[in-house]
Chains A and B, each alone.
Chain A
Amino acid sequence: MRWAALGAVAVLLALPVVPGLLPSYAVTVFTFTFFYAYLAQAWNVLGGYAGQLSAGHAAFVGVGAYTSAMLALEAGLSPWLGMFVGGALAAGLGAVIGFLGFRFGLRGFYFVLLTVAFAEVCRIVALNTEAVGGALGLYITFTGNPAQFQFRDARAYYYVALGFMLAGTALAALMERRRFGIYLAAIREDEGAAEAAGVPTFRYKLLAMVVSSFLTGVGGTFYAFYLFSLQPNSVFGIPLSVEIIVRTVVGGGGTVLGPVVGSFILSPLAELSRFYFAEAGWSGAHLVVYGVLLVVVVLFFPQGAVPGLRRLAGRRAG
């Protein structure tokens, strides 16, 4: 355990120095890894801690991304502020979905379908709304102005993404020890027993949804201003939700480091695949690996990589 902690500290200290030493391609891979770790961390609040599987988190990324992009394009509002407007709108959507889903008692598969349906409705609405670019989507012209969340040096995005990941992880660590996190874990384990032990389950599930969708929506701004273009099918699509879920589950849902570990396992794979496999005509290869990993994790490490690693470390120490 001590070695694991030391390792983590070493990695943490190395991360800020790394971009100076690496080729730009590796910087991109790290940037995506951090960003997906952040999104996975946001999903973890609802899906990992509270055990409510949402397969529609892309909707929150999309709402956040479109909001800050539109505010920047139409009103000249800095994305640094628009980011929070986007987060708030995403949280509003999350509150609506959560209120309906939890009030009507939807669980498991039914909740999954509800979140998918809402995300798909968002996608179709965006596709058909000319004011936000319709099927073509939105394009952000590059100005390189840091006040507009734009940087000439790709390493700046690396640091911003790193900041997102660290902030998200710190938040999870804080949450886990407080009443909020303990209650969410109790709800995940047995909702009825949690009620009997005095947990207001509806309120806490709704709160988990709002926190999770807010954080995800804030992340949408990074998505928009790192990629400079938004298409409804990619930013609201089910595949993006799946990317987020797989990282959390593989790393370990309901643990502080799970989403980070999951992203470090899967994001480089996805990026490699995007760069190399796609050229070789193997464009689905990394998703096959995702699928296999998901199956393996569910069957053999149902709590994900982090508790597994911890057990291993414990065995070595003991």
Chain B
Amino acid sequence: MSAPLLAVRGLGKRFGGLQAVRDLSFTVAEGEMVGLIGPNGAGKTTVFALLSGFLRPDTGEIRFRGRAIAGLPPHRVNALGLARTFQIVRPFPRLSVLRNVTVGALARHPDPVAAQRRAAAILEEVGLAGKGDQPAASLTLAERKRLELARALATEPVLLLLDEVMAGLTPAETERIVALVRAINGRGISVVLIEHVMRAVMSLSSRLVVLNHGERIAEGRPEAVASDPRVIEAYLGEPRADDAAPA
């Protein structure tokens, strides 16, 4: 059996008095789609920040494609093939939609013409082809979510961390993005998904990791996790389903 694509062991991060992530371990296999779920403030976004190099873990190890990546700056992590999106979308507002994606594509194609060609193809794929010339600030939320995805995709990742790409969307828009994420995974790109839209995360993920108070409280196939009493209790104790983990 080959080593997992991503292996997290004993990950811990503390902010002042708050233990945001505690002794977290999980793996992601090549080609897999894993859902990272948990109630409000469970530390999911912090996990993404740790994996992508935006935060340095206090304890633990992150191995990606066999390399220890904890503490590397985000652009280095990205260069190794791990890309992320932001829960609160962060487009480059005054740059055109095409330019936004070109920035990502330049990571693999230093020639700007080639990068722009690549970016245009990705815009096509995410359904923003007609919007290429508009400034990113003019997009709707649903479009910005897709732009966020497109820019990450343009860096040609092996593993994609998607932080609530469906939050705030209408059911129709959600359907489209679910199809898109499935297609991306179908191309062999592994995905870790933070999501509160349960139906979507259940249908997309082959495995779920459940966090509560920064700790892993359950892991397994979606149906099994959904009936786990600890998971039900964690969610019942926190009925509101929006994430506010410290960034």
Chain A residues packing against B (C-beta within 8 Å): 177-179, 182-183, 185-186, 189-190, 192-202, 303
Contacts and interface: CB of A to CB of B under 8 A. Distances in A.
Interface string B108-137: 001010010000000000000000000000
Contacts of B53: 195
Interface in B77-132: 78-79, 83-84, 86, 90-95, 99, 102-104, 106-107, 110, 112, 115
Contacts of B112: 177-179, 182
Given A182-B102, A192-B74, 7 more contacts: A177-B112, A182-B112, A189-B94, A194-B92, A195-B73, A196-B74, A202-B73
Contacts of A190: 90-93
Contact of A185 (B52, B75, B99, B107): B99
For the residues of A in contact with B, the DSSP-based class is helix
A182 B94 CA distance: 12
Nearest to B75: A200
Nearest to B53: A195
Q: How large is the interface on B (under 10, 10 to 19, 20 to 34, 35 or more residues)?
A: 20 to 34
Interface of B: 52-54, 73-76, 78-79, 83-84, 86, 90-95, 99, 102-104, 106-107, 110, 112, 115, 151-152, 154-155
Contacts of A202: 73
Nearest to A197: B104
B86 A196 contact: yes
B92 A179 contact: no
Contacts of B115: 179
Given A182-B99, A182-B106, A198 B92 contact: no
Contacts of A192: 54, 74, 86, 90
A199 B99 contact: no
Contacts of A196: 52, 54, 74, 78, 83-84, 86, 90, 152
A198 B95 contact: no
